[in-house]
Amino acid sequence: MRDELNALAADLLAAVGDLQARGALVDLPRAEVDTAPQAAWASLAATSRTEVLVGEGGMRAVRDELGDCSRCDLCKARKNIVFGVGDPSADLVVIGEGPGEQEDLQGEPFVGPAGQMLDKMLENVLGLRRDQVYILNVVKCRPPRNRNPLPEEVDACMPFLRAQLRALRPKLGLVLGSVAYKALLQTTQGITRSRGRWHVWRDPHSDLVLPVLPTFHPAYLLRQPQDKRLTFADLKDLRARYDQEGGRR
């Protein structure tokens, strides 16, 4: 929306300039077009078209570009930006939707009750500790009252999520919940029909092709424990493929 308004403002300025040149308008003040958002996206896009830093250096570059982000209204009430945590050279990336209260307070994803369940899922089924994977969210700031992030909030964060995935270059991805699945795969299909089926995410700015497996979010499983068996089956499938791909333990 901001880009569209900036483009409209630029068109209006051009029209005003033409009228002034023909003497139709005199001494009208010129409005300033906000170029900061375009500059940020251009910087990320330029990085994606050149040699991309991977691992720790790449993630540090993305975090530096994110800065003290104010690209959407989620910045107004947040305590901390929740960038991500784990091994920047991990073979598995875990993608959630957004920070909750504890995540916002501590600045780390999945540290509340849902995070404790995720840790158990990783260790008991996949045989992986939290520090052996990389965990991040689609949006980096907590939505008020833990509501789902709005489309414009997701759009503001997606360039950074894609840049994180380019830097990580994992072998596989585990996508938790409907919000993250819809945002990453650009689909309207819900998680109930999509979980347990492998999908492919392709980065539009590089050659990265990432197989991802969506399943229920741990927060959902805390409310609907009867579906834990479905997620358990999904994780067993993920473990088998992880081993086939030569994933490290």
Q: Is residue 75 part of a domain?
A: yes
Q: Is residue 14 part of a domain?
A: no
Q: Is residue 139 part of a domain?
A: yes
pLDDT in tens, the chain (249 residues): 444 444 444 454 444 444 444 444 434 333 343 444 445 445 554 444 435 689 999 999 999 999 999 999 999 999 999 999 999 999 999 999 999 999 999 999 999 999 999 999 999 999 999 999 999 999 999 999 999 999 999 999 999 999 999 999 999 999 999 999 999 999 999 999 999 999 999 999 999 999 999 999 999 999 999 999 999 999 999 999 999 999 999
Q: Is residue 60 part of a domain?
A: yes
Q: Is residue 6 part of a domain?
A: no
CATH of the domain at 50: 3.40.470.10
Q: Give the number of domains in the chain.
A: 1
Q: Is residue 190 part of a domain?
A: yes
Q: Is residue 177 part of a domain?
A: yes
pTM for the whole thing? 0.81
Which structural domain, as residue segments, surrounds residue 210?
Answer: 41-244
- Taking the C-alpha atoms of residue 53 and residue 67, their distance in angstroms, rounded to an integer, is 18
Q: Is residue 136 part of a domain?
A: yes
